[in-house]
Copies of this chain bind each other. A is one copy, B any other.
């Protein structure tokens, strides 16, 4: 059972709900969201139509529940990641590492979330998503500000930093999850942490100290 679902819906009372979530995720992952029928999920989870609709309202609600549980799990994962970082470079490395490790630890969920952001974004309030996202990036932003002030970080359009930091790693994770490359992202932590740092680091001769 995925830790994300245990976290989102704990207790024996919610066991059936978790069971449905887990089976639905497996189905979505194997066949793609819109190829999966409610009846397939019902059969695989040993549940019933009524139960599924009671818990999730409709198919989109089911997808949204999976997505939001995944988002919360990621957030919890990241919250500990930056714990003891002393410098911006350490923070970036820890961040990239946490990103790659979460994907490798939750491949089905990661694949689903990459492909379904849109589905959920439509149904959920934007504020809710934005709030969670801010929390995810919050700690890193502090380091970034400091780094900018000290000249360690290259001055670039604000809106591009997130892409520069995580884009390469994300692209590789997508490739791995879809089988286009064989090596798990975690084996390239150094590569992607290094690339992220070089993407935002100032040139050597521009640093102040």
Contacts and interface: CB of A to CB of B under 8 A. Distances in A.
Question: Binding site of A, secondary structure by majority: helix, strand, loop or mixed?
Answer: helix
B178 A160 contact: no
How many monomers of this protein are in the complex? Answer: 2
B171 A162 contact: yes
A170 B8 CA distance: 31
Nearest to A156: B191
| Of listed A156, A163, A169, A172, residue having the most chain B CB within 10 A | A163
Contacts of A191: 156-157, 160, 164
Contacts of A192: 160, 163
Contacts of A182: 159
29 contacts: A33-B34, A35-B122, A115-B118, A118-B178, A121-B178, A157-B183, A157-B188, A157-B191, A159-B172, A159-B181, A160-B168, A160-B188, A160-B192, A162-B171, A162-B175, A163-B168, A163-B169, A163-B171, A163-B172, A163-B175, A164-B191, A166-B171, A167-B170, A167-B171, A167-B172, A170-B170, A170-B171, A195-B199, A199-B199
